[in-house]
Amino acid sequence: MNRRDFIYKTSIAGSSAIASPQIIDSLISTGKKPKSVIIIGAGFAGLSAAYKFVQNEVSVTVLESRNRIGGRVFSHNPENAAGQVIELGAEWVGASHERIISLCNTFGLILDNNQFETDTSISGIHRKDGEWEFGTVMNEFWNKKAALWKNMTEKEKRKLDKTDWWRYLSNLNIDEKDMQIRELLDSTDFGESIRQASAYSAFSEYAESSEKNEMDLKIRGGNGLLAHKFSEAIGIEKIKLNHTVKSIEQTNRKGVKVICDNGSSFEADKIICAIPTFSLLKINWLPDLPSRTYDALQELQYARIGKYPILFSERFWQREDFDMITDTPAHYFYHGTKGQPGQSGVLTCYATGDKGEVLASIDKKRRSEIILEALAPAFGNVKKYVQEEMMYYWGQDKYSSGAYAFYGKYQRFDVMPTLKKSFMHCFFAGEHLADWQGFMEGAINSGEEAADLILRGH
Ligand SMILES: Cc1cc2nc3c(=O)[nH]c(=O)nc-3n(C[C@H](O)[C@H](O)[C@H](O)COP(=O)(O)OP(=O)(O)OC[C@H]3O[C@@H](n4cnc5c(N)ncnc54)[C@H](O)[C@@H]3O)c2cc1C
């Protein structure tokens, strides 16, 4: 049973938690297809929803704040690189992420292998992949986690949401050294310490993910190409950039009216808000959002991830599939230009939580020193190879205030279904509402689900 079925079944079974309301709503369809729909947000959730409407001949307008499409998918060409592309936002397409893989096939996009073999650098000692391993307890648990998950009762799974992933693992008597590595590895997935992550979110993700935990593939030429393919299929003229929605007015009879900060306004039968919660809270709603929705919006946090890529004149790390966790503020490195031609290459420093925030706030010189010092145990002084230093700290992104939603204890079965609940003519989408939460796949699934509900006459 996947996570969606689980949430649905447990809530239908009469527990105090709410079932995914959009699923429940789907039982009460009017069967009337709308004539026009407005979508707020040209990230993967908004674009996938718009694509679905265009395919079903429903008039659609997409309103986007930024001067670009893609949202948290943000491919970038370093100025001094010879045509190489790196990702400042979403990086990996998972092998289990069926929908994004199928869309890449439809649009003729090529997916390249983007798997890595992990080195460690702990207490100043560098160990190459193959030179370090977890202890027996950790290994045994990891190897049987999928079977354990499969055999758990629904009640047992729900109970996991009451504790954090760190505590759950420590109760298994995992070695302290292994716990440290687990924290360093898994906090790159959640974007914050596993001491705060729900054990339900972590266990379900790791039990159902590919062997490399969905760090498998990448779109050749940049993940942003999928956004461009979407926009061509939707019709570029239907996507209005630099349009920040500031108010949403709904009436039962007339539908929806949206007003943007540049004075323009749009009307439609239905609307999908495919934006992060931080942005939703800035909108003036008429009538106001239900108080429970408002509370849930205030409860959900987002992960603080910073990417600090460096373009080096030589790939001194030698292995194309190089990545490395460290116990320094630089946290994690991976080869950001894996498989791309050229002598130069990018190592992306990827720091989460407090580490990501500290690296963002200190001055450029000190940040550079910290990052290069973290590479020293493995490669010595590599300053001479530095050609360009870049950064994007998502904790201060104007529209999301974080990389992706971070579900803590007691939130998965409460906050998520509440935020999914439609409100008059308004439906909600975005990675924060998906089974594959925190992934491009989840954003696409959620956009398509919201569009499906509207197309079925809700
Ligand atoms: C650092 C980082 C690493 C990641 N790594 C991965 C990974 O390896 N693999 C993976 O699959 N996923 C990864 N993700 C997650 C992935 O990027 C997201 O899940 C997905 O892109 C979210 O899409 P979305 O459409 O829900 O939201 P967004 O992409 O945020 O789109 C929402 C859009 O709405 C716009 N907007 C906001 N407010 C308004 C308004 N009032 N009016 C108009 N427009 C508005 C925003 O500008 C934005 O463009 C990563 C994300 C980050 C940041």
CA of 429 to the centre of ligand 1 (A): 11
State pLDDT tens for residues 254-275. Answer: 899 999 999 999 999 999 999 9
Residues 194 and 228 in one domain: no
Q: What's the burial of 364, exposed, middle or buried (CB within 10 Å: 0-12/13-18/19+)?
A: exposed
**pLDDT value at residue 33:** 83
CA of 72 to the centre of ligand 1 (A): 3
Q: Which of 208, 241, 260 marks a domain boundary?
A: 208
Task: Determine the structural domain holding residue 197 and report its residue range.
Answer: 135-208
Give the nearest ligand 1 atom to 66 CA: 47
Whether 328 is covered by a domain: the verdict is no
Whether 143 is covered by a domain: the verdict is yes
**pLDDT value at residue 166:** 97
Give the DSSP letter string of 229-270: HHHHHH-GGGEETT--EEEEEEETTTEEEEEETTS-EEEESE
State pLDDT tens for residues 34-45. Answer: 999 999 999 999
Q: Which of 153, 178, 208 marks a domain boundary?
A: 208
* Nearest alpha-carbon partner for 273 in 441, 42, 52: 42
Give residues with Cβ within 8 angstroms of 139, minimum separation 6: 133
Q: Who wins on pLDDT, 33 or 320?
A: 320
SS3 category, 423: strand
Residues 229 and 261 in one domain: yes
SS3 track for 26-74: CCCCCCCCCCEEEEECCCHHHHHHHHHHHHCCCEEEEECCCCCCCCCCC
Domain count of the chain? 2
DSSP secondary structure letter of residue 439:
S
User: What pTM was estimated for this model as a whole?
Assistant: 0.94
Whether 127 is covered by a domain: the verdict is no
Residues 59 and 197 in one domain: no
Tokens for 143, please give them. 């190897």
Residues 188 and 51 in one domain: no
Q: Whose alpha carbon is nearest atom 51 of ligand 1?
A: 90
Task: Taking residues 61-79, report their average pLDDT.
Answer: 98
Task: Taking residues 316-342, report their average pLDDT.
Answer: 97
In angstroms, the Cα distances linking 83 to 28, 68, 220 are 51, 20, 12
State pLDDT tens for residues 114-134. Answer: 999 999 999 999 999 999 999
Residues 176 and 204 in one domain: yes
Q: Max CA-CA distance within the chain? A: 69
Cβ of residue 89 lying under 6 Å from some atom of ligand 1: yes
Give the nearest ligand 1 atom to 94 CA: 11
Q: Is residue 253 pLDDT above 90, yes or no?
A: no
Q: Which of 158, 178, 208 marks a domain boundary?
A: 208
Pairing mode, strands 305-312 and 386-389:
antiparallel
Cβ of residue 356 lying under 6 Å from some atom of ligand 1: no
Residues 52 and 193 in one domain: no
Tokens for 99, please give them. 């929908």
Q: Is residue 169 pLDDT above 50, yes or no?
A: yes
CATH number of the domain enclosing 293:
3.50.50.60
CA distance 67 to 310: 25
Residues 242 and 174 in one domain: no
Whether 231 is covered by a domain: the verdict is yes
Q: How many CA atoms lie within 13 A of 153 on its CB side?
A: 3
Whether 57 is covered by a domain: the verdict is yes
Tokens for 375, please give them. 């590479």
* Nearest alpha-carbon partner for 107 in 47, 66, 152: 47
State pLDDT tens for residues 170-221. Answer: 999 999 999 999 999 999 999 999 999 999 999 999 999 999 999 999 999 9
**pLDDT value at residue 18:** 41
Q: Please say whether the beta carbons of 392 and 307 come within 8 A.
A: yes
* Nearest alpha-carbon partner for 117 in 107, 127, 109: 127
SS3 category, 194: coil
- Residue written as token pair 């108080």: 291
State pLDDT tens for residues 333-350. Answer: 999 999 999 999 999 999
Residues 203 and 237 in one domain: no
CA of 98 to the centre of ligand 1 (A): 19
**pLDDT value at residue 311:** 98
* Substitution candidate for ligand 1 out of 404, 420, 432, 441 with most atoms within 8 A of CB: 404
CA of 421 to the centre of ligand 1 (A): 20
* Nearest alpha-carbon partner for 285 in 425, 168, 124: 425
**pLDDT value at residue 254:** 86
Pairing mode, strands 345-352 and 386-389:
unpaired
Whether 381 is covered by a domain: the verdict is no
Residues 201 and 149 in one domain: yes
Whether 251 is covered by a domain: the verdict is yes
Whether 360 is covered by a domain: the verdict is no
Pairing mode, strands 270-273 and 426-428:
parallel
